[in-house]
Amino acid sequence: MRGVEKNLDKFVGAGIRVVGISVDTTEKTRLHMIEQAGYTFTFLSDPKLETIRRYDLVHAKELASGADIARPAEFLIDPSGTVRWRMVTGNFFQHALPEQLLEATKTLP
């Protein structure tokens, strides 16, 4: 996510609106992601995992916490709601690079 934040102007320039989704409450998301980490893009709070389930991203009973959390994933979704590109991984330290996301935007209709 830091790479996305550092390249946010490029995403905006490509017509991409960046949105993060967190399993944390609104208050925790605001504190951890916005105030402490300094992210400036939009975050949605999904503590009931409703949206996370719709995209089949639930990692059940994560080892450290025992709680259901979201698997790391990046999506490019067009204005109609159609997923045009995605990267989903089980490795919590592996994310799409900003360059990969920006390159993928060039293939969108």
Q: Is the pLDDT of residue 61 over 90?
A: no
Q: How far apart are alpha carbons 1 and 20 in whole angstroms?
A: 9
Tens-place pLDDT, residues 66-102: 678 788 888 888 888 888 888 887 777 778 888 988 8
Residue 39 region by backbone torsions, left for phi larger than 0, else alpha for psi between -120 and 50, else beta = beta
Tens-place pLDDT, residues 31-44: 999 899 999 999 99
pTM of the model: 0.78
Q: How confident is the model at residue 28 (pLDDT cuts 50, 70, 90)?
A: very high
Q: Does domain 2-102 have CATH number 3.40.30.10?
A: yes
Q: Is the pLDDT of residue 18 over 70?
A: yes
Q: Is the pLDDT of residue 1 over 90?
A: no
pLDDT of residue 46: 93
